[in-house]
Amino acid sequence: MGVLETVRPQSMTRHPQGIAAHSGEWAASITVLADPTDDATVTRTLLEAHCPAAGVVTVHPTPATRSETSLAADLFAGLGRSPSRLAAYRLGSPAPAWRAATAWVTAEGIAHLVVLRAHHLTAGQRQRLLALHRATGVHLVLVGHTRPVDIREILGCPVRITSDHAVLVAAFASSRAAVTTPPDPASLPLPTLSNAVGDFRAAARRALSPQDFARVDDVYTSGIRAGCRWAAECPLEERAHTDQDARTPRAGLLSSQSALPVIDQVALLRFLGALAADSPSRGHTMARLRGAQTGLRMHGVRLHLPPNLAFGVGPGLTTVPITEQIADRIRSMIPSPTHAAALAALLCAGSPGPHLASIPVSALTIDADAIVLSGVVGRRHFRHPTVHPIPISVRPLFKAARAIAQLRGTDANQHLLSGGIGTTGRHLRNSAHQCEVTIPPLHPWSDCWISRVEARPMMRESAIRGIVGVSEASAVNPPRR
């Protein structure tokens, strides 16, 4: 099969805390691929395997260059970033350039990094690649054409030496098969209705044409289903009612003095924020939230949304819908993880620069789906937690910002995005101009609708009345009157 030698160390490579290593057969390993005849088929096959979305990046180093920064620029190009902008973001020297590259490899989930012409690399360039490998757990493939790759520096790592490139391509293909494309929220906006939960559908039917009502009703129904799903996994100490209670409505009702279960407010806000995060229009957000409100009510949770929601501000209402096109533009135009995440935060949160600059590293959730603020943040004090949702398409930007903060040794209580904002928001404006995106209207956190949401478990008798008033059947398949 062409496997010449396997060199194994006494212990596996360790990865810094907070930087997740990849799993699987090829995790935290290095492969040296020998191509002694400089076969064009090998080079072409490895270049065709390049697919960052599938976790495979192939780097073809610029010929006749020996600097570590030049190799970093080639890696940025392989990751889909513009290497010509490194100097503009103070990434023109080796240390910051490789820190940023390491953060992007981590955040984008790159599993395989192939470096062609590795026999030409200098000792300094090889050391940079090894440091990236140790920090990220990426499977590093060094391809030696015409002559072997110097492996003296990598004897402390799990190393495979092979001449069979087909084995590697098969491993890349398994990564490619797992690729999923996030949904693009771009679609026609829905009409906006201001009615409350009780008569939302009826008001929509009265106010809209049959075609528009059908579109609104589909989104509203999806919100009901989402609310029912969340309620089924409701993080309560005790559910507001049980299935047995629903079957025997008058059995074992709670008295007014009975202790009601406590709703996890942060979990609820993350759920509602997720409904708004990728919403393409104010009308979609309204229909989703009103639907979720109905779904939660059916399961004994009374959700109070701001009474003026139709004219409210915040995620999904006044923010910019971040489509895949906008996300790709940010990735390609801004090589700095901090600057890229700061611009994404501006678009999806719609908050002023000083508010964004005060966000600590610890506020970003583990999977980067939201920013959770509580207690003292900067000069502001949050009596109750508030949440800002992050769309799927830009979560890697926030992961990269956190990764580079960790690589710099930044404390979890220090600022996550301040380096990408600048004095009076200067960096934010420059980034928005470079990416040709429109800055949304900016509002303080306290004005956002998600900061004014309240939820309480209903008394069991009230919950039952809610179930009787809005049947499960109408949630799944609302009647067309």
Query: How does pLDDT run across 459-477, given as a tens digit for each residue?
Result: 654 444 444 444 444 444 5
Asked, for residue 293, whether it belongs to a domain, the answer is yes
Q: Is the pLDDT of residue 11 over 50?
A: no
Residues 417, 471, single domain; the answer is no
- Stretch 434-452: mean pLDDT, rounded? 90
Given a contact cutoff of 8 angstroms between Cβ atoms, the answer to whether 134 and 105 are in contact is no
For the stretch 154-176, pLDDT in tens is 666 778 888 888 888 887 876 55
Asked, for residue 183, whether it belongs to a domain, the answer is no
Q: Is the pLDDT of residue 189 over 70?
A: no
Residues 46, 107, single domain; the answer is yes
d(CA 227, CA 261): 18
Asked, for residue 315, whether it belongs to a domain, the answer is no
Residues 427, 337, single domain; the answer is yes
- Stretch 259-270: mean pLDDT, rounded? 78
Q: Tell me the pLDDT of the chain averaged across its residues.
A: 80
How many distinct structural domains can be found in the chain?
A: 3
The pair of three-digit structure tokens given for residue 14, joined into one six-digit string: 């360790």
Single-letter amino acid, residue 239: R
**What is the pairing mode between strands 380-389 and 370-377?**
antiparallel
pTM of the entire structure? 0.81
Owning domain of residue 366? 324-450
Residues 444, 466, single domain; the answer is no
**Residue 167: Cβ-neighbour burial (10 angstroms; 0-12, 13-18, 19+):** middle
Asked, for residue 182, whether it belongs to a domain, the answer is no
Q: Which residues contact 168 (CB under 8 A, 6 or more apart)?
A: 31, 33, 46, 49, 112, 114, 141, 162
Residues 395, 260, single domain; the answer is no
Asked, for residue 191, whether it belongs to a domain, the answer is no
- 388 against 383, higher pLDDT: 388
Residues 21, 43, single domain; the answer is yes
pLDDT band at 360 (very low <50, low <70, confident <90, very high): very high
Residues 78, 158, single domain; the answer is yes
Residues 147, 34, single domain; the answer is yes
pLDDT at 29: 83
Instruction: Identify the CATH number of the domain in which residue 89 sits.
Output: 3.40.50
Residues 110, 139, single domain; the answer is yes
- Stretch 230-240: mean pLDDT, rounded? 65
Residues 233, 288, single domain; the answer is yes
Asked, for residue 317, whether it belongs to a domain, the answer is no
d(CA 160, CA 264): 49
